[in-house]
Chains A and B, each alone.
Chain A
Amino acid sequence: MERDDLIVNDSYSLNAKHGEEEGKKIRKKLYMVTGILTLLTVFEIFMGVYFKRNGTFTWETIKLLFIVLTLVKAAYIVLIFMHLGDERKNLKYVVLLPYALFILYLIFIGLYEGLSVQHLNNTFR
């Protein structure tokens, strides 16, 4: 079988090319995303340093906020940096759906088991 990475003037790769004008637009978008990712990280660090870890509602909310911000950052990386946003819809689903399905189930069963173990530990110690 012919290795497709060695194919000269492969049509899929040629389709991905763009001109100088479009390159400028794309770079502008990339710099914007860089700014957003940096700001989000700085914000997370600030929240992590400023707020004390105690079991209060504030801290629990901040923890949830961290997870949401992380998902936002992940979305920017996957959709913009990895260009998944520009791919065909069927590839997006093939990548994202199986992952979401497995990982959500894993997190669910993990939390369920973890709570149970914690309960046992609290009861019998």
Chain B
Amino acid sequence: MAGQAQAVSKDQLWSGGQSPFGISYGKMMMWYFLVSDALTFGGLLTAYGVIRHGSADLWPVGEQVFESLPGLHGSYPLIYVALMTFILIISSVTMVLAVEAGHRMDKKGVIKWMGYTVIGGLFFIGSQVWEWSHFIHGSGGGFQVSAPMTVAATDDHKQPVAMELTGGSWVHMTSDLGHAYEHALEHGDHIEISNGKLIITPAAHGDHDAHGHDAHGEAHAAAPQEYPLEIVLNKYTLEHKDGKDLRKLMVTGEEAEKIMKNMASNTLVFGANLSKNEYAVQQQYANFFFFITGFHGFHVIQGVVINLIIFLMAVRGVFERRGHYEMVEKVGLFWHFVDLVWVFVFTFFYLV
């Protein structure tokens, strides 16, 4: 900012009585803290890279795991994350506008822009809560096949493709099928796979229907419900194993039935937690998701709280009396740092 760098001769610079950096002690310490915090995040992201690079099993692809929007059906790859990124960038802009207003001693401007920054931060935290919830509940379910097999699949353009599955290959059930299956297992319903369909007969106690949506809490007739079998192959797989094309292959009906019946025991997973996840065979993927986005989210929460305090202090005129708005600048540094980290998380976790 203007005027920050006054001319000081070189031999005067480190001789005491003034800051060699031309900034106050508090701001300098904020920079030092940010460097150390950036090293922490740098370490986490590098660890992610190392584990992913050395992983023997297939690694999930971000655009295929994160493709949902709240309240909507269908595939919207990366749109939600893009929205989160945009929210954070905009709240970073409102923050820097608050700093600019502070440099003009514009109290109203600082209050307005700090307020927007706090709201933006809250929106981001809310988005992350939804993202976590969606990730934990899962979008279908996954399992490994036991014996090697060849199935007839169709690709993106509905063209038939013969796909070889090795033992241990990871396949993924589409969300409708997966949710029905999971619900049936939870309630101890009778599950039958035949004629290319998943047939669920509700258990005798009948406190729910096969959908699990019992609006009146009454017993329903135990009519079997049928779900078409739809399995996605080549989804959630690492890109650089042997350079093979990772189009999304679909298997339906009788072919899917063959895969379901070839399920390796104890490999069925719905959703994600710290010990297993439906997105891949190995567990590190979910662990890194929880740890990196969680640690970042923790920073966002701190940032919102600190921003709120500074907002209230500005409203009460503390900085007006102090004669300068430097505290806004210091918390601004922290808030921009949070945005900066997200830019990297976005690239390395979701895009690459």
Residues of chain A touching chain B, judged by Cβ–Cβ distance below 8 Å, are 3-6, 8-10, 12-20, 22-23, 26-27, 30, 34, 37-38, 41-42, 44-45, 48-49, 52-56, 59-60, 63, 66-67, 69-70, 73-74, 77-78, 80-83, 86-88, 90-91, 94-95, 98-99, 102-103, 106-107, 110-111, 113-118, 121-122, 125
Known interface pairs A16-B326, A54-B239, A81-B336. Does A90 touch B49 (Cβ–Cβ under 8 Å)?
Answer: no
Residues of B in contact (CB 8 Å), total 87
Q: What are 27 A-B interface contacts by the 8 Å CB criterion?
A: A12-B4, A13-B325, A14-B324, A16-B2, A18-B103, A18-B104, A26-B1, A27-B97, A38-B86, A45-B79, A53-B63, A54-B239, A54-B243, A55-B243, A66-B347, A74-B344, A81-B93, A81-B336, A86-B2, A87-B21, A88-B5, A99-B42, A103-B42, A113-B54, A114-B51, A115-B54, A117-B50
Q: Is B309 an interface residue (CB 8 A)?
A: no
Partner of A4, one of B24, B34, B85: B24
Known interface pairs A16-B326, A114-B54. Does A44 touch B336 (Cβ–Cβ under 8 Å)?
Answer: no
Chain B residue numbers with a CB within 8 Å of A15 are 3-4, 6, 22
Partner of A59, one of B54, B239, B329: B239
Partner of B326, one of A5, A41, A125: A5
Contact at A9–B245, with CB atoms within 8 Å?
no
Do most interface residues of chain A lie in helix, strand or loop, or is the interface mixed? Answer: helix
Contact at A54–B246, with CB atoms within 8 Å?
yes
Contact at A49–B21, with CB atoms within 8 Å?
no
Chain B residue numbers with a CB within 8 Å of A103 are 39, 42, 46
Measured CB to CB, the nearest residue on chain B to A5 is B26
Tell me the chain B residues, 95-115 only, with Cβ under 8 Å from chain A. 95-97, 99-101, 103-105
Residues of chain B touching chain A, judged by Cβ–Cβ distance below 8 Å, are 1-6, 13, 19-28, 31, 34-35, 38-39, 42-43, 46-47, 49-56, 61-63, 77-79, 82, 85-86, 89-90, 92-93, 95-97, 99-101, 103-105, 239-247, 321-327, 329-330, 332-333, 336-337, 339-340, 343-344, 346-347, 350-352
